[in-house]
Chains A and B, each alone.
Chain A
Amino acid sequence: MQQYSVPRLITKLLLPLILLFALYVQFHGDFGPGGGFQAGVIFAAGFVLYALVYGLDNARRIMPPWLLRVGVSLGVLIYAGVGVAGMLLGGAFLDYGVLDSHDPVHGQHLGILLVELGVGITVASVMISIFYAFAGRGR
């Protein structure tokens, strides 16, 4: 891809927009269409594009496999952790209402935001890991 300057330039232009859009889908998921799963996939797609154009080695330098390994687990832990926090605060598992002692509605917002964040992190990490696994075959 060294000689194709147009795809390289376009990728550089698009990459921040893709990642920003992923974050928008992630955090606007409470109010509009979207959420952790979609955001995670879009976020991962950005890295896949980068790896296709700039090579797998460069991609691995930015998003190293150990970080993905942490990300895969961290997302699940955030999700389950929010659930357990609800339990410790006296509610049921995944009861977000008790997360804020003053306003249950605020608690619900906080809870779903964190849970979707966990989903987003895990989905993005898994998607990039799968891409690395396939792209790295036969090396």
Chain B
Amino acid sequence: MTEHLPVLQVVVPLIAAPLCALLRPGRAVWLLAMVTCALCLLIAALLLDRVLAQGVISYAMGGWPAPWGIEYRVDAANAYMLLIVAAIGAVVMAFARTVVEQRIRLPASKQPWFYATYLLCLTGLLGMIVTGDAFNVFVFLEISSLSSYVLISIGRDRRALTAAYQYLIMGTIGATFILIGIGFLYVMTGTLNMADLAARLPAVADTRTVRAAFAFLTIGISLKLALFPLHLWLPNAYAYAPSAVTAFLAATATKVAIYVLLRFFFTIFGAQFSFGTMRLDAILLPLALAGIFSASVVAIFQTNVKRMLAYSSVAQIGYMILGISLVSVTGLTAAISHLFNHALMKGTLFMALGCVSFRIGAVSLDRMAGVGRIMPWTMGAFVIGGLSLIGVPMTAGFVSKWYLILGALERGWWPVALLVLFTSLLAVVYIWRVVETAYFQPAPEGRATTGEAPLALLVPTWTLALANLYFGLDTSLNAGVARRAAEALLGVGP
């Protein structure tokens, strides 16, 4: 059965989703979804292990060999991504049960649909990563996008509906642009298989169609990954979605879009075309820097902490794009490593906020005053996540910042390195505002004194919080494998 691992990665959640929808509301639905997520994580771990040991794994869908059939192709880069998404999917699923039962505007009879939608979203995200077929990427992108609009819209706040609608419009424009880009490539080469596209594109690279395809793909994917200034859908979507959904999407959805960007620019078009001929780095670099700077500043002035972290996500995406625009092994390692580290830190932070909102019903700064004293464990996890976000040594966040600065210095761009350091200080400011409010301010009048969040929420939150510390010390996975992935993408490694 092990040769089927690449396809099982997608098929297991795909089959579990309709089964969840068929089940009666209750504990069993969550259990099925949880087992599915755990299986996905197991499959992803096995795949990564096999890829690191034996190299690229290829799977021919339906027995049709590539490039005629759909090929699932797993190398170091996507095995690493699969592990991130599956791990976050499993941890957040453990967190989701309590949230869904008590904190979502959804009648009990419809709760199975939440799990079905969550699993479909997971299917789409994993599918986008595992596939080696450009059109298949689009299909899975739609699966994950449509289900994520639904997941966002069920937030308790009525504004979640408008946020989801806004995201739907922007996301659909992005997906359409991606489809147009893929269509143009297909017109020019007659193939959709990524490896085949990469082989055939150089012959026709100097045509207006291929350049237009490149432009459409760049803008479409940038919309999905919320690159500044195309990020406007993100803050509202993250702020009003249920906390479990925010934690899941913030840690996975934009990351997968960045992976798709890497795949298209490095594997299909090739670094030479994307960055040598089209000079994409000249566009990405200023946008990344502007995004990091402006989003960090805006984050400082937010009163809703969830919204603050959403803006911080835009800034963090900027760091990843900055790493990509360095076009070096170190820069790419920083970007890919930050995909992992950012998933850990934002997962921790959003889940800690989920615990807070579970107990006190709000995550605005004034309502959170004094929370640190009544919920020490929750805020402890928040502080760890915050330190990692800032990039303090011994946390996961430090690893990627380190490589990023190293990469910038390698290119001799010391102002960029300084700006990375400076914007880390901005992160200190907005994280400190929360810490100061939570620990040093008196509780507001009229807030019921409640205790610590239940264990069902704390255990997943702390799992990720401890992972932040662990991967700050043992960097063999988040930097070692990231480096191998970067080398694979640049085509310089073994």
Q: Which residues of B contact A (CB under 8 A)?
A: 4, 7, 11, 14-15, 17-19, 21-22, 59-63, 116
Contacts and interface: CB of A to CB of B under 8 A. Distances in A.
Interface string A6-38: 000000000000000000000000000000000
Interface in A50-94: 69-70, 72-74, 76-77, 80-81, 83-84, 86-87, 91-94
Chain A facing B: main interface SS: helix
A96 interface: yes
A73 B22 contact: yes
A69 B60 CA distance: 33
B61 A76 contact: no
A77 B15 contact: yes
B61 A93 contact: yes
A116 interface: no
Contacts of B22: 69-70, 73
B59 A76 contact: no
Contacts of A74: 18
Chain B facing A: main interface SS: helix
A58 B17 CA distance: 31
A83 B11 contact: yes
Contacts, number: 50
Interface of A: 69-70, 72-74, 76-77, 80-81, 83-84, 86-87, 91-98
Given A69-B21, A73-B19, A73-B22, A95 B14 contact: no
B48 to A, nearest CB: 20
Contact of B61 (A69, A72, A92): A92
Contact of A87 (B4, B14, B21, B116): B4
Contacts of B59: 92-93
A74 B4 CA distance: 24
B223 to A, nearest CB: 26
Contacts of B17: 76
Contacts of A84: 11, 15
A70 B59 CA distance: 32
A93 B62 contact: yes
Nearest to B18: A73
Contacts of B116: 73
